[in-house]
Amino acid sequence: MQVVATSKSVRQSTRKVGLVASLVRGRTVSDAITILEHTPKRAAEPIRKTIESAKANAENNHDMDASTLIIANLEIGPADTLKRYRPAAHGRAQPFKRRSTNIRVVLEGEQIVKKKTTVKKADTKKDGTKKTTPQDTSSKTDKSTDDATKGTVKNTRGFMNRKNRQSNVPVTKKRTGVRGNK
C-alpha cells in the first residue's frame, strides 16, 4: 500500500532540493532520516520533515509497520516563482526570480494485521423476529404535536425576538413590500 505526504512552496530552488533528494531515493525511511539529519544542506530539513510526515501518516492512518517502510517515489517539482528586482547602476533595475519547490514523498510498506474481533448477534426470537425492548416502544412520537407546529414558520436562529421572548410561541416572519407593509 502507498502512503503520500507533500510539502508545498518550500522557499528554495528545485535544483538545490533535488540534489539532496537524490541521496535518499529508494532507501528505507529510517536510513533516509539518518542521512538527512547529517547532511549539511538547507534543503535536508524540509525533505526530512516531509518523510517523517509520510511515516506518521502510514503508522496512524493506514496501520502500517514503520520498520518496513521504503521510499518508493520522491518527486521534486517547481512551485510558484516570485519575480523581484534588484537595483543596478545608472538607476536601472535587474530582474531575478525567487523560486520555490513542491516535495512529494510516496512510501510503501506492509500493513499490520489486526486480530478479528467477535461481533455479538442481535437478540432475536425463535421465529426470526427482533425482540422489542421498553426503550424501543417509548421512542414513538405523538402526531398531534407535529401537526400543531406544521403551519407556523419557526425562527431558524434558535432564539426569539424581543416581543416574544417571554413566551414559547414561534416567531413568524412579516412580509414587507417596497413601500412598507402590504
45/111: higher pLDDT: 45
- The C-alpha cell at 101 is 519547490
Q: How many residues does the chain have?
A: 182
Q: What is the pLDDT of residues 53-70, one digit of tens each?
A: 999 999 999 999 999 999
pLDDT at 7 (0 to 100)? 97
* Average pLDDT of span 24-52: 96
CATH number of 2-108: 3.10.50.40, 3.40.50.300, 3.10.640.10, 3.90.470.10? 3.90.470.10
SS3 73: strand
Q: What is the pLDDT of residues 118-173, one digit of tens each?
A: 666 666 666 766 666 666 555 555 555 555 555 555 555 555 555 555 555 555 66
